[in-house]
Amino acid sequence: MFFCIFNRIQFFQTMISKKVNSVQQALEGITDYMTLLVGGFGLCGIPENAIAELVRLNVKNLTCLSNNAGVDNFGLGLLLQKHQIKKMIASYVGENAEFERQMLSGDLEVDLIPQGTLVERCRSAKMGIPAFFTPAGVGTEVAVGKEVRTFNNKQYLLEYAADADFSLTKAWKGDEAGNIVFKGTARNFNQSMCGAAKINVVEVEELVPLGALDPNEIHVPGVFVQRIFKGEKYEKRIEKLTLSE
């Protein structure tokens, strides 16, 4: 609580707290058939603790929108193993053999979307833009059934905002007010997804005190976050270790 003087009148005021104490609390309300936005690029910046909890909850028939589908035994691959995902909306799924098996056998519905369109659809949901035009996919099977319009002699497709029940994202540091910052390329889809769903859950490596984050450097202000928690542990698996020597 901070004590402030506002125009000669005194009032107590502090931030709205978004902190929950466990991944269980954070994921409360996720049920079968829901649509989830899941942050990360490959295995970089994925919400490891939330995914582990989804496995434990054993919710089924999920629709997951995520850039990738993890690898066979990590990331969203863990949900695929247990057949918890009914439909996957992604841009690249090349690192997951189980995924390919389920897709080719018809067990898994798959919607492949250009990466820039995928993230812009999340951003649009977050920002209250119902639809936008983008050139990605014009003239390809991605364009089938979509409105095409020409602006300045170039063709564009009309794409729609994503619609999701929960977003599950991962940040580096965050505070009780829900403000978060990312590190390196672990930012990727997390920034746009956080705020794009009805309930936005973010897990962080470090919860810092209010005021510890520079207000100029916050990547997602707390208004977009409904629940924030400190992840218990992070494996941060590296997909393709590449060294210079």
Sole binder of a second copy in the list 94, 106, 130, 145 (CB under 8 A):
130
Interaction between residue 95 and a second copy (CB under 8 A): no
Q: How many residues bind another protein (CB under 8 A)?
A: 89
Which pairing describes strands 227-230 and 199-208: parallel, antiparallel, or unpaired? Answer: parallel
Q: Which of these segments, 43-51, 129-137, 193-201, 204-212, binds a second copy (CB under 8 A)?
A: 129-137
- Chain CA centroid to CA 241, Å: 24
Interaction between residue 113 and a second copy (CB under 8 A): no
Spatial neighbors of 209 by CB under 8 A, at least 6 apart, are 175, 176
Sole binder of another protein in the list 35, 37, 41, 159 (CB under 8 A):
41
- Measured CA to CA, the distance from residue 193 to residue 184 in angstroms comes to 17
Task: Cite the DSSP H helix spans in 43-171.
Answer: 48-57, 77-81, 97-104, 115-127
Sole binder of another protein in the list 134, 146, 163, 165 (CB under 8 A):
134
Q: Which of these segments, 48-56, 57-65, 78-86, 169-177, binds another protein (CB under 8 A)?
A: 169-177
In 3D space, the residue among 180, 99, 85, 164 whose CA is nearest the CA of residue 126 turns out to be 164
- In the complex, the residues that contact a second copy under the rule CB under 8 A are 5-8, 120, 124, 128-135, 149, 151-152, 154, 156, 160, 181-184, 187, 214-217, 244-245
